[in-house]
Amino acid sequence: MVGISKANEGDKIGGPLASKVALVTGGSRGIGRAIAMKLAELGAGVAICGRDRDKLRATADALRGLTERAFWQTADVTRADEVGKLVCATEKRLGPIGILVNNAGVGLFGPAQEKSEEEWDLVLSTNLKSVFLVSRAVVPSMIRQGGGDIINISSLAGRNTFAGGGLYCASKWGVQGLSGCMAEDLRDHGIRVSVICPGSVATEFSGRGPKDAGKALLAEDVAHAVETIVTQRPGSFMSEIHVRPLRKA
């Protein structure tokens, strides 16, 4: 019987992502928390950020049950200065970031003509500008490493329009366009840019109304899609994944 080398044995024990460091924005709850936990289960060192210190700390405590390499920091990912500090602190604590999940997001719904400029800025900055800022901060390190994964959490609202979705759809359609262009810009550097478009997910996210839990996705369904992307053979990538509830609401 063929023996397992010490190196391979370490990989097996540590998980498929044992050599990786991941950063998940909006990682304290909901989809972001589920993704962070899944990446930790796969062996990655995981950093999370958000604005709620107590929820970040609680999620980091849960992560430490899966990995010794966990880090959290409060950050407003719509501000370039705070993003820069977050990336520097993560890489100082855990090492170069090889997986970035841009998950931070908000939802405000209603007719666009009834929304304020401040509401427009909030949604577009959180859902779209943050993807640009955090990706821009992480890409140089990924280029030096010769590869990496950037996964942008969009929505089926980035493919479909609906009444009252003007601000949210605009932000998510923007994520679709930005992701596609980034994929072309970065693929020659070995960096894979993917976008995940979930349907309705049963989380605390402020959506259009109460969700029927029996006809909605779980946050773990989106985390599974992330797992599929980051464990894909290095010579290929999944550019876009749509995740829908089996039963329609």
CATH code where residue 78 lies: 3.40.50.720
With respect to residue 7, please indicate whether it lies within any of the assigned structural domains: no
Flag whether 13 is in a domain: no
> Quick one: pLDDT at residue 174?
98
pLDDT band at 210 (very low <50, low <70, confident <90, very high): low
Per the annotation, the verdict on 168 as an active-site residue is: yes
Residue 140: pLDDT band (50, 70, 90) is: very high
User: Could you give the CA distance from residue 60 to residue 57 in angstroms, rounded to a whole number?
Assistant: 5
In a domain, 2, yes or no: no
Is 116 part of a structural domain of the chain? yes
Q: Is the pTM of this model over 0.85?
A: yes
CA–CA distance from 211 to each of 20, 32, 246 (Å)?
35, 19, 14
Number of domains into which the chain is organized: 1
Is the pLDDT confidence value at 89 over 90? yes
Mean pLDDT confidence for 6-16: 53
Residue 133: enclosing H or E segment and its boundaries?
A: helix 130-145
| CA 72 – CA 50 distance, rounded (Å) | 8
How many H helices and E strands in the chain?
8, 7
Q: Mean pLDDT, to the nearest integer, of 92-108?
A: 97
CA dist 132 and 137 (Å) reads 9
In a domain, 3, yes or no: no
Could you tell me which of 39, 103, 89 has the C-alpha nearest to residue 67? Answer: 39
Is residue 31 within 8 Å of residue 198, measured between CB atoms?
Answer: yes
In the sheet with 99-102, reading across from the earlier edge strand, the strands are 70-74, 45-50, 21-25, 99-102, 148-153, 191-198, 240-243
Q: Does residue 10 lie in a domain region?
A: no
* Over residues 197-204, mean pLDDT: 88
Would you state the pLDDT for residue 204?
Answer: 67
Q: Please give the radius of gyration of the chain, using alpha carbons only, rounded to the nearest integer.
A: 18
**Degrees to nearest 5, angle at CA 226 with 225 and 230:** 120
152 within some domain: yes
Across the range 233-237, mean pLDDT stands at 93
Residue 55 in any domain: the answer is: yes
Summary mean pLDDT of the chain? 92
C-alpha distances in angstroms, 76 versus 85, 215, 218? 11, 32, 26
pLDDT of residue 208: 54
Report angle CA 86, 241, 180 to the nearest 5 degrees: 65
Q: List the domain range (segments joined by +) for residue 183.
A: 18-243
76: CB partners within 8 A, 6+ apart: 51, 82
Q: How confident is the model at residue 215 (pLDDT cuts 50, 70, 90)?
A: confident
From 45, 168, 175, 203, active-site residue: 168
